């Protein structure tokens, strides 16, 4: 027997055996952490997979199939003008206003299509961080100073992190530029206007299906919330029209999905997840069995799903076990976190940045969490550091990022976000102490 090859599976089996043998089931905190891990995974499955991740996966699949590589390289490629590339990346990310996990399929799609590392990481950071609604909520609840600081910091961070990633890995980027220079520049098979309407309809479904209820039941945000499912349906109908007119999908197949979906929506108005789930499943069947571009689109979407979903759920379970849900306890006591981020010291800012990089924040939940920590003694600097590092990254998202661009680039991305958040928090804490 070749023990040089067999020691790894032996060590793995021994580790699993010892973990179960010494499982601390009599320790209340362990049982609480186990419950929190499963509870967070359940909440994530209910609140994010259907309305967030699945539309994002279809958009990513559409990017890889219907957007020509030449188009991606023209605006986001290694040879694209820097002002254009980083401008497009930051604006595109901010329009989506998604969480750190939902942006991952889109990031993977543009990166694999040839986007430069710098613009791709700018897009990766900008999507969750430059969220207009979250910034407005921060200003209203945590104060105008912190809201403005978060807005300015997030915009600057996105561009600086992208440029830093480009410079650190410039040799690889130069090689990518040379490889892209040798490629032909074919025209897209479909006019730009058709692609814009196609992706615009899917982005509309993604945005309005996830429109959260604002605190005040008045104003434009609440007005949009009260119409969110009507708006989602309108964009879904627009997507269906685009598919019939330009993608050669049979109208009667989409009707077989649309009519029961509408019926379920009227029968069960208090349970919108049921008709939405039926629509997603029916649409997937139509795409997967239609042949041609539709089947290719579904296949690409499925490839992204296999790559991303298992890592995300594993990361959510681990994050729940360590830190628990908001207001609940995991293995790490919340008082440790509160004590570590008190004041405006370097240690407090650094800890807030690191904690934010690995904690999972759903869109807009970071604001009440930071509000509670400030009430427990958190300094203004660490609060800003957490707001800049937290929404842009999480343990689940980092696992997926590593699978897309490798361990070295992921570690550098983490380091850049943590260092910049720590530095910004220190400066802000000194100025507004």
Please state, rounded to an integer, the average pLDDT across all residues of the chain.
Answer: 82
Whole-number pLDDT of residue 264: 93
Q: Is residue 379 part of a domain?
A: yes
Note down the domain range covering 410: 34-249+290-431
The arithmetic mean of pLDDT across residues 207-219, rounded, is 79
pLDDT above 60: residue 186: no
Helix (H) or strand (E) holding 248: none
Instruction: Report d(CA 289, CA 110) in Å as an integer.
Output: 26
Q: Is residue 75 part of a domain?
A: yes
Instruction: Report d(CA 78, CA 72) in Å as an integer.
Output: 10
Q: Is residue 49 part of a domain?
A: yes
Whole-number pLDDT of residue 364: 63
pLDDT above 60: residue 428: yes
pLDDT above 80: residue 295: yes
190 pLDDT band (50/70/90 cuts)?
A: low
Least confident of 184-193, 253-262, 275-284: 184-193
- Whether 428 contacts 384, CB under 8 Å: yes
pLDDT above 90: residue 164: yes
The arithmetic mean of pLDDT across residues 325-330, rounded, is 76
Q: What is the pLDDT of residues 80-139, one digit of tens each?
A: 777 777 877 777 766 665 666 778 888 888 888 778 888 889 888 887 777 666 776 678
Beta bridge partners of 77: 115
Whole-number pLDDT of residue 214: 76
Residue where the block lists tokens 């009599």: 26
Whole-number pLDDT of residue 430: 86
Instruction: Report d(CA 347, CA 364) in Å as an integer.
Output: 26
Q: Is residue 276 part of a domain?
A: no
Whole-number pLDDT of residue 424: 92
Q: Is residue 348 part of a domain?
A: yes
Whole-number pLDDT of residue 407: 92
pLDDT above 60: residue 414: yes
Closest to 224 measured CA to CA, from 249, 241, 207, 239: 207
Instruction: Report d(CA 273, CA 73) in Å as an integer.
Output: 37
Whole-number pLDDT of residue 313: 84
Whole-number pLDDT of residue 323: 74
The arithmetic mean of pLDDT across residues 29-34, rounded, is 88
Most confident of 163-177, 265-279, 281-295: 265-279
Whole-number pLDDT of residue 411: 93
The arithmetic mean of pLDDT across residues 335-340, rounded, is 75
Whole-number pLDDT of residue 266: 92
* Dihedral sign computed on CA atoms, order 80, 115, 122, 160: negative
Decide which of 362 and 122 is more confident: 122
Whole-number pLDDT of residue 133: 65
Q: Is residue 264 part of a domain?
A: no
What torsion do the CA atoms of 197, 200, 202, 208 make, to the nearest 10 degrees? -140
Whole-number pLDDT of residue 185: 54
Cα distance between the two ends of the chain? 66
**For a pLDDT cut of 90, what percent of the chain falls above it?**
18
SS (H, E, C) 358-403: HCCCCCCCHHHHHHHHHHCCECHHHHHHHHHHCCCCCHHHHHHHHH
Angle at 278 between CA 272 and CA 284, to 5 degrees: 135
pLDDT above 70: residue 4: no
Q: What 8-state DSSP symbol labels residue 430?
A: H
168 pLDDT band (50/70/90 cuts)?
A: very high
Q: Is residue 274 part of a domain?
A: no
Q: Count structural domains, the chain.
A: 1
With a CB cutoff of 8 Å and minimum separation 6, the contacts of 432 are 145, 380
**How much is the pTM?**
0.74
As given in the structure block, the two tokens for residue 140 are 């209203």
As given in the structure block, the two tokens for residue 417 are 């976000």
Whole-number pLDDT of residue 94: 61
3-class DSSP state of 77: strand
Q: Is residue 280 part of a domain?
A: no
pLDDT above 60: residue 310: yes
337 pLDDT band (50/70/90 cuts)?
A: confident
Whole-number pLDDT of residue 187: 52
3-class DSSP state of 115: strand
pLDDT above 60: residue 188: no
């Amino acid at each position: 027997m070749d023990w040089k090859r067999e020691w790894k599976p032996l060590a793995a089996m021994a580790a699993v055996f010892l973990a179960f043998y010494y499982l601390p089931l009599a320790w209340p905190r362990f049982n609480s952490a186990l419950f929190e891990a499963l509870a967070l995974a359940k909440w994530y499955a209910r609140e994010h997979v259907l309305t967030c991740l699945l539309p994002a996966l279809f958009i990513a699949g559409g990017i890889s199939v219907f957007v020509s590589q030449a188009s991606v390289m023209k605006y986001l490629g290694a040879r694209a003008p820097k002002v254009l590339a980083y401008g497009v990346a930051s604006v595109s990310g901010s329009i989506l206003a998604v969480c750190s996990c939902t942006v991952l399929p889109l990031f993977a799609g543009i990166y694999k299509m040839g986007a430069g590392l710098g613009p791709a990481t700018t897009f990766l950071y900008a999507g969750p961080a430059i969220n207009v609604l979250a910034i407005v909520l921060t200003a209203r609840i945590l104060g105008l100073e912190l809201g403005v600081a978060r807005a300015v910091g997030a915009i600057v961070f996105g561009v600086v992190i992208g440029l830093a990633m480009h410079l650190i890995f410039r040799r690889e980027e130069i090689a990518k530029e040379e490889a892209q220079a040798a490629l032909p520049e074919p025209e897209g098979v479909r006019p730009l206007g058709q692609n814009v309407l196609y992706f615009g309809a899917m982005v509309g479904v993604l945005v309005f299906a996830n429109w959260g209820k604002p605190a005040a039941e008045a104003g434009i945000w609440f007005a949009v919330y009260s119409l969110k499912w009507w708006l989602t349906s309108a964009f879904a109908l627009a997507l269906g029209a685009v598919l019939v007119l330009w993608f050669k999908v049979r109208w009667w197949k989409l009707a077989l999905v649309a009519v029961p979906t509408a019926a379920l929506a009227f029968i069960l108005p208090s349970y919108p997840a049921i008709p939405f789930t039926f629509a997603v499943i029916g649409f997937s069947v139509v795409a997967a069995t239609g042949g041609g571009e539709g089947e290719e689109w579904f296949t690409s979407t499925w490839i992204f799903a296999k790559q991303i979903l298992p890592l995300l759920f594993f990361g959510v379970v681990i994050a729940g076990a360590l830190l628990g849900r908001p207001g609940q306890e995991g293995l790490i006591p919340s008082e440790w976190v509160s004590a570590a981020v008190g004041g405006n010291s370097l240690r407090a800012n650094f800890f807030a940045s690191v904690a934010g990089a690995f904690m999972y924040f759903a869109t807009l939940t970071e604001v009440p969490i930071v509000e509670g920590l400030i009430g427990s003694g958190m300094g203004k600097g660490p609060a800003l550091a957490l707001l800049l590092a937290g929404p842009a990254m999480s343990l689940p998202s980092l696992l997926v990022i590593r699978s897309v661009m490798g361990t070295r680039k992921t570690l550098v991305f983490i380091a850049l976000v943590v260092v910049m958040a720590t530095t910004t928090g220190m400066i802000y804490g000194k100025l507004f102490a």
